[in-house]
Structure 1
């Protein structure tokens, strides 16, 4: 652990409180979110095998009427569409039908944003355009039930390694890889991802930035546990977001709510299942603040971390009004981590503050390490534990934390799948 001076009590049993101090129901997404309806087709495209389909698909998207979608369908003997970067116009959607797969061509030159660094290592990691970009759009979406494959495991054209091998090399050399994100949503509103399978992203799978109104319903995100920087879903500086009925297994954060350039608020994470990955995270960039987050009915199985808030003095801010409720964890190494010194070497004056954090109806089936580490005596954590059950043999780390409620050492049973 980074905190050598933390207490090592196996179980912290705090005085039982009647939890009247909980701040009522914490608000997530302020919208009334219902199951999306797939738009009608404006054009149906047939799979053409190994051919480059970039222009084939982009031309159809550009010609599509607002409110409708381009459908990608399997053909006899072929289910694949290979493509370079695509852009969804405002109001236009893309549907990948059952049996069809849209694959990103593993050619860095196609994704290079003009600096001739895509597919290389440098200090910024910002040299690639995303595979699918939704920018300055309203009412666009991506629909299944087919698949979008980023081919993070494919050897890059003109290279001797895959995107994921490049990421591993970046870690070993303490630098950054230039690899494309799978789906990037910027400055947009009312965007939908529905019943689509996203897999093998070269980098993050879905990122929203400075957007308002985003629904991810019934999607699957999948990448190997050792595929570095393959976050599942990262809402950054975004408002009114719902992730519901989804399954996410990755090599990094399953979800990471961030607020580096703008605040993130009113986010609902509802009825999801997370497999391998680094867990349900907030941070590490929280400069502009994160608030009004609800995580309800979540199963975490085999994640490295369970429920985590992470930051440090170089990128900290306020995280407030967060409720985790009806959570089940099994084979999770670190079930709860509230960490204000994520990078122990970080310097700066952006001190993380985590307040009004509630954990209610948690069942942790296997022993793990729990960390509650505030920044200082003047800036402690403030949280409530209500009906939290952990397993025998768990380790408890606590420093600069004001904790109300109880923990019971009787976790057991099974998580319903």
Structure 2
């Protein structure tokens, strides 16, 4: 595919070069303005095609996982698919035995197995049978002792994620089974607190704000991470979190009813997330949130979530700037987004920056999809977002199609200007939207560096919000069947 794209690009650029050369040498004729414009537009499209070769190069550079051809079935270590049977220790023993033997697959056979936190080790593939369910407990004791983790972009010593790995290499969660988090109106989700969309009885004694405010204040003050741990902790753990890991594969599984974010690679590299179904409608049920990670491929996944479907992040405020590690070299392709706060999203914890992001051939649609393409930040977060390429996206129904919002949460209340450079959106079709745009820059830091080519809004109620935009490279934009220019 890369060679084919390269040949097409070289051919197009060669023809353009030859055409310009002929005009220069002859000196006899000048093309009409419309022809000159078409020539320039073709040059832009050819340049865009060359840029997209980088996506294939990123995929080719990802180091794949490989596992020894040996299996360790959890039932051989005492696991039982019986209600009330705690399989945490049996699964731990199977993983330890697999790792000690040089790696392989830890098999979860057919049946429903109840468990607490699972910690993966290097060279271990946790593989679920087609009819297997790992059902996770909802009491906090099963996620102790505390581990090094990250919560909403801030490092702390907190509850173990449901599936966790710390500084491991060559790990995987695969198979067609189900990972059931058991988040509900009575378990995990009420810790969100007095949420505007809550459908549970509010209990102030377990409101996450008690821990969240203190954690964020400690991070802003530069408190050492080792001191950021709390006896009374109401920060829900993410479902799957590889932390500081290399060569990670998550493939085939269905993830349901997560306490918090579903898939959250942090400070990891060479990550592949493929053919995964993310179905969770609780608060902060983001589908896949790579944080400060490098070389990540997300493909052929389904997202039906209670928050952003995919959100690229790099740390919150002072903590993100302390680590100064961008999320970079990300390819998102052939995914389906249904319900969610956003389809492909960058932010809001983006203080470490984002660069070299590619999203293509995705389909989004739902009456409950709030936004399609979304960037959210502010002058407290800051962050440089650059070299973002989005193309061949089909949106059926959405509230706001394209969002760049510098006023997220705190708004213009800090000294770290958000910046967007080289954001290219092309071949985007939106069938139905309430608003085409929500573009809100600062007067002192307007939105710039954005290219919109071949963007068509078929049925839109209103243009939307356009505030403080320095300039957008526009080509072939239509709104309700008519040419449109910002």
Is residue 396 of structure 1 aligned with residue 464 of structure 2?
yes
Q: In structure 2, do the counterparts of structure 1 residues 236 and 114 end up closer, same or farther at CA, with 3 Å as the change threshold?
A: closer
**Residue pairs, 1:53-68, within 5 angstroms:** 53-64=87-98, 65-68=101-104
**C-alpha distance in structure 2 between counterparts of 1:318 and 1:20, whole Å:** 27
Q: Does the CA contact (< 8 Å) of 2:146 and 2:157 recur in 1?
A: no
**C-alpha distance in structure 2 between counterparts of 1:253 and 1:331, whole Å:** 16
> Which stretch has the larger CA shift, 38-47 or 54-63?
38-47
Match in the other structure for 1:166: 191
> Which stretch has the larger CA shift, 80-89 or 42-51?
42-51
**C-alpha distance in structure 2 between counterparts of 1:365 and 1:139, whole Å:** 42
Deviation at 1:343, TM superposition (A): 1.8
Q: In structure 2, do the counterparts of structure 1 residues 223 and 241 end up closer, same or farther at CA, with 3 Å as the change threshold?
A: same
Q: In structure 2, do the counterparts of structure 1 residues 251 and 366 end up closer, same or farther at CA, with 3 Å as the change threshold?
A: same
> Which stretch has the larger CA shift, 19-28 or 177-186?
19-28
Match in the other structure for 1:70: 106
Deviations 1:279-300 (A, max 9, x none): 2110012212101100001111
Deviations 1:306-342 (A, max 9, x none): 1101100111111011111011112210111011111
**C-alpha distance in structure 2 between counterparts of 1:180 and 1:378, whole Å:** 36
Q: Does the CA contact (< 8 Å) of 1:392 and 1:411 recur in 2?
A: no
Structure 2: runs of 5 or more not aligned: 1-36, 148-153, 197-201, 213-233
What value does the CA root-mean-square deviation take over the aligned residues? 2.7
Query: In the alignment, which of 41, 62, 68 is matched to residue 18 of structure 1?
Result: 41
Q: In structure 2, do the counterparts of structure 1 residues 106 and 39 end up closer, same or farther at CA, with 3 Å as the change threshold?
A: farther
**C-alpha distance in structure 2 between counterparts of 1:113 and 1:42, whole Å:** 28
Query: In the alignment, which of 181, 185, 188 is matched to residue 242 of structure 2?
Result: 185
Q: In structure 2, do the counterparts of structure 1 residues 71 and 220 end up closer, same or farther at CA, with 3 Å as the change threshold?
A: same
SS for the counterpart of 2:289 is: strand
Match in the other structure for 2:397: 331
Match in the other structure for 1:405: 474
Query: In the alignment, which of 42, 45, 58 is matched to residue 71 of structure 2?
Result: 42
Query: In the alignment, which of 155, 167, 177 is matched to residue 146 of structure 1?
Result: 177
Deviation at 1:142, TM superposition (A): 0.2
> Which stretch has the larger CA shift, 32-41 or 88-97?
32-41
Deviation at 1:397, TM superposition (A): 2.0
Q: Which has the larger radius of gyration?
A: 2
Q: Does the CA contact (< 8 Å) of 2:146 and 2:160 recur in 1?
A: no
**Residue pairs, 1:361-380, within 5 angstroms:** 361-369=427-435, 370-376=437-443, 378-380=445-447
**C-alpha distance in structure 2 between counterparts of 1:411 and 1:205, whole Å:** 39
Is residue 211 of structure 1 aligned with residue 268 of structure 2?
yes
Deviations 1:118-171 (A, max 9, x none): xxxxx99974211110111111000011011111127xxxxxx32112224466
Match in the other structure for 1:30: 58
Structure 1: runs of 5 or more not aligned: 1-14, 116-122, 155-160, 413-417
SS for the counterpart of 1:213 is: strand
Query: In the alignment, which of 271, 286, 294 is matched to residue 350 of structure 2?
Result: 286
* TM-score (normalised: structure 2): 0.73
Q: Identify which of structures 1 and 2 has the higher relative contact order when contacts are C-alpha pairs closer than 8 Å and 6+ apart.
A: 1
Relative to total residues, which structure has the larger strand share, 1 or 2? 1
Q: In structure 2, do the counterparts of structure 1 residues 378 and 48 end up closer, same or farther at CA, with 3 Å as the change threshold?
A: closer
Q: In structure 2, do the counterparts of structure 1 residues 323 and 124 end up closer, same or farther at CA, with 3 Å as the change threshold?
A: closer
Query: In the alignment, which of 316, 327, 334 is matched to residue 271 of structure 1?
Result: 334
Match in the other structure for 2:360: 296
Deviation at 1:384, TM superposition (A): 0.8
Q: In structure 2, do the counterparts of structure 1 residues 52 and 297 end up closer, same or farther at CA, with 3 Å as the change threshold?
A: same
